[in-house]
Amino acid sequence: MLSLVIPVFNEKDNIGELIRRVEESLQDYSYEIIFVDDSDDDTPAIISQFARKDQRIKLIHRENKTGLSSAVICGFEYAEGDILAVMDGDLQHPPEMLSKMMKEIGQGADLVVPSRFIPGGSDGGLNWFRKLVSATARYIGKILIKSLRRASDHTGGMFMLRREVIKGKQLNPVGWKILMEILVMGNYQTLVEIPYAFSSRNLGQSKLNLKVQLQYLWHIFTLLKRSESDRRFYVFCLVGGSGVIVDMLIFALLSYRFAGMSVNARAVISALIAMASNYTLNNLFTWKEIAAVKFDYKVFLINVRRFSRYLIVSSFGIFIKSITLFLLYYFLHIDKYWGNFAGIVCASFSNYFLSKFWVWKE
153 binds ligand GDD (CB under 6 A): no
String marking each residue 202-231 x if it binds ligand GDD according to CB under 6 A = ----xxx-----------------------
C-alpha 174/C-alpha 121 separation (Å) is: 28
Q: Binder to ligand GDD among 81, 114, 157, 317 (CB under 6 A)?
A: 157
Alpha-carbon distance of 283 to 289, in angstroms, equals 9
CB of residue 92 to Mn ion, shortest distance in Å:
4
Determine which residue in the list 25, 44, 67, 165 makes contact with ligand GDD, applying CB under 6 A: 67
Cβ atoms of 320 and 339 within 8 Å: the answer is: no
92, 115, 147, 215: which one binds Mn ion (CB under 5 A): 92
Select from 37, 33, 42 the least CA-distant residue to 12: 42
**Size of interface with Mn ion, in residues (CB under 5 A):** 2
- Strand, coil or helix: what is 17? helix
Residue 89 contact partner, candidates Mn ion, ligand GDD, none, CB within 5 to 8 A by sort of partner? ligand GDD
Tell me if 136 contacts ligand GDD by CB under 6 A.
no
Interaction between residue 14 and Mn ion (CB under 5 A): no
9 is an interface residue for ligand GDD by CB under 6 A: yes
Task: Choose between 185 and 208: whose C-beta lies nearer to Mn ion.
Answer: 208
Shortest CB 25 distance to Mn ion, Å:
18
Q: Out of 12, 21, 65, 356, name the contact with ligand GDD by CB under 6 A.
A: 65
Give the whole-angstrom CA distance, residue 81 versus residue 29.
12
Residue among 23 and 285 whose Cβ is closer to ligand GDD: 23
Cα-only R_g, the chain: 27
Write the single-letter amino acid at 175.
G
Does 283 participate in binding ligand GDD (rule CB under 6 A)?
A: no
CB atoms within 10 A of CB 330: 10
Nearest one of 239, 268, 240, 275 to 254, comparing CA atoms: 268
Order across the sheet with 111-115: list the strands.
57-61, 31-37, 2-8, 83-86, 159-162, 111-115, 191-195
Name which of ligand GDD, Mn ion, none residue 193 binds, using a CB cut-off of 5 to 8 Å depending on partner kind. Answer: none
Q: Which residues bind Mn ion (CB under 5 A)?
A: 90, 92
